[in-house]
Amino acid sequence: MGFDKLTSLIGGRPAISYSLEAMQACGEVRWVVLVCPAGREDEFRLLASDFSKVTAVCAGGGERCDSVRSGASRLAALPDGPPEFVAVHDAARPMIRAEEISLGFHLAMQHGAAALAERCADSLHRCAEDGTVLEPVPRENLWRVQTPQILRFSDLLNLPSGHSDEISALRALGKPAVLVENAFPNFKLTVPGDLLLADAILRSQTS
């Protein structure tokens, strides 16, 4: 992105506030641990001050798995003990809604783990590093996996490193998971133009 997308303004608000708002509104969520860049804990603690479910703000690590472990350690230290299920969400997806988080929890409770996802609708091609097309890739049964990804807390603690997300790591252990189609936009802020698109979508949802 070239700048901090989590504190970039969308509709006059920091992008991260939308994810926190959705978690706050989800009945299945009791606590939220906000993991942020090291050295910026006070800044993010202030950003999260309006959301009562945020029970801790802590520094992340160099890789996604390091940040997840950091957040998990805070959940493990809760006075009542950690939750049975936990949702790992990338706050760079600000359009997540409480309804989809809730659906993910219910499916995870049935199947062991669940994640929101989008069916691949575009044509797919495998290419060489220089962009030369090598072969088409059938898109049937291919999904773009989103977050939150919801799984048992005990499984989260035992996930192996070296995987792009929690569902991939869980499947490496041979444990089941399901994907649920998200009918609403939930893309990840990746390029500057995504902020404009997210702003338009979020405005339409509140108008």
Per-residue model confidence (pLDDT) at position 16 = 96
Are residues 180 and 145 in contact, defined by beta-carbon separation less than 8 angstroms?
no
**What phi-psi label fits residue 195: left (phi over 0), alpha (psi between -120 and 50 degrees) or beta?**
alpha
52 has a pLDDT exceeding 90: yes
**Residue 182 is encoded by which pair of tokens?**
């998200």
Report pLDDT digits (tens) over 157-193: 999 988 989 999 999 999 999 999 999 999 999 998 9
35 has a pLDDT exceeding 80: yes
Report pLDDT digits (tens) over 126-144: 999 999 999 999 999 999 9
Phi and psi dihedrals of 55, rounded to 5? -95, -15
Task: Provide mean pLDDT across the span 61-65.
Answer: 89
Q: What's the whole-model pTM score? A: 0.92
Residue 80: alpha-carbon gap to chain centroid = 25
The SS3 assignment for 57 reads: strand
Percent of the chain with pLDDT over 70: 98
DSSP 30-42: --EEEEE-TT-HH
